[in-house]
Amino acid sequence: MGGTLSSVPSPWIQAEALRVDVAGSPVLDGVTFATTGRSVAILGAPRALFETCAAERSPNSGSLRLVGLSAEEASRQARVAVAPLDPPLPPAWTARAYATWSARLVGHDADSAARNAREALAMLRMGSASDAALKGAPLHVRRGAVLAAALATGAELLLFEDPTPGLADDVARTLARVLAQALDETASSPGRAWVLFAARLPLTSPFAHRAEEAFLFSRGRLVSEGAPGELAASEQTFHVRVSGPQDAFADALRKRGAEVVPADTHLTVRLDDALAPRELFQLAEDAHVVLLELVPIADTFT
């Protein structure tokens, strides 16, 4: 891809006490995390997190930085490219024109933009669909055009929403495989990274195979993070939120052999074989707390 990549401070994305409101209510509140890998899956987060990373929303409080910059500055400098799910597209344009102008708008000259678009379309195996009008094009072709446009910018960090919802199973598998291979090619360039935003992620997905780390959200809170394979194998690990004396409940769990990691608003609980999930309700009653949320971490991977 065209463009010169500069050195990027780690982490690629860093949130500190991030709060984002939608229609006057917080959908993210007190979220803190930092990525360490160059290939990341963010699962179950409100769409507002993607929108904030894409500089479409501003944090209500806290901070969010991408490649060491605010989202607005990272976007202005074309350090970050985004591929949202199903944005409006110019109906008379082709995928080639859309990708070419995407590159032109971030500063590439005509020759560089045309080359970038050609390479991006080839990586996504768009073929003859590259030069067909987007009006009436199949959904997977339209989504391919959006992804090609993001790749054609040559940005250091690519943020994209899962492009497979609503597609037939065979089409979804093909698109995921082709995109994953394209990301492998772009990631081979020094200092380039990608982040997938998805509701859930099949463990068989090529994105799950390639992601170095995953961040799992539930109800706007970060509940777990780690390698996708490790998280998917955590069948006895739960995100637990209670009303009442959380410390007393945590102590009761530990006495029954559970591993408990407390946070400000929740507990991460790993049960041993001797403690069944249904017993948590009795332990909660004994500790005088009310279970508000009990989310199996492994359920994020379908």
- Residues 150 and 155: their CA atoms lie apart, in Å, by 8
Architecture of the domain delimited by 235-300: 2-Layer Sandwich (3.30)
Supply the pTM of this predicted model: 0.82
| pLDDT on residue 35 | 94
| pLDDT on residue 302 | 59
| pLDDT on residue 2 | 40
Q: pLDDT (tens digit, 9 = 90+) per residue, 25-44?
A: 999 999 999 998 899 999 99
Q: Helix, strand or coil for residue 89?
A: coil
| pLDDT on residue 6 | 44
Q: Environment class of residue 206 by beta-carbon count within 10 Å: exposed (0-12), middle (13-18) or buried (19+)?
A: middle
Q: Looking at domain 13-230, which of 3.40.630.30, 3.30.1460.30, 3.20.20.140, 3.40.50.300 is its CATH number?
A: 3.40.50.300
Q: Where along the chain do its domains lie? A: 13-230, 235-300
- Residues 28 and 32: their CA atoms lie apart, in Å, by 10
Q: pLDDT (tens digit, 9 = 90+) per residue, 279-298?
A: 888 899 999 999 888 877 76
- Residues 234 and 296: their CA atoms lie apart, in Å, by 8
**DSSP H or E segment with residue 100:** helix 95-105
- Residues 77 and 65: their CA atoms lie apart, in Å, by 13
Residue 233 has pLDDT above 80, yes or no: no
Q: pLDDT (tens digit, 9 = 90+) per residue, 168-210?
A: 999 999 999 999 999 987 766 666 899 999 998 887 889 988 9
Q: Assign 49 a pLDDT band (cuts: 50, 70, 90).
A: very high
Residue 20 backbone dihedrals phi, psi, to 5 degrees: -130, 125
- Residues 25 and 30: their CA atoms lie apart, in Å, by 13
Q: Return the closest-CA partner of residue 221 out of 8, 7, 17.
A: 17
- Residues 59 and 71: their CA atoms lie apart, in Å, by 10
| pLDDT on residue 227 | 87
Residue 248 vs residues 261, 277, 288: alpha-carbon distances, Å: 13, 18, 8
Cβ pair 194, 186 in contact under 8 A: yes
Residue 7 has pLDDT above 50, yes or no: no
Q: pLDDT (tens digit, 9 = 90+) per residue, 124-173?
A: 999 999 999 999 999 999 999 999 999 999 999 999 999 999 999 999 99
Q: What percent of the chain has pLDDT over 90?
A: 66
- Residues 174 and 158: their CA atoms lie apart, in Å, by 20
- Residues 71 and 67: their CA atoms lie apart, in Å, by 9
**Interhelix angle 95-105/139-152, nearest 10 degrees:** 30
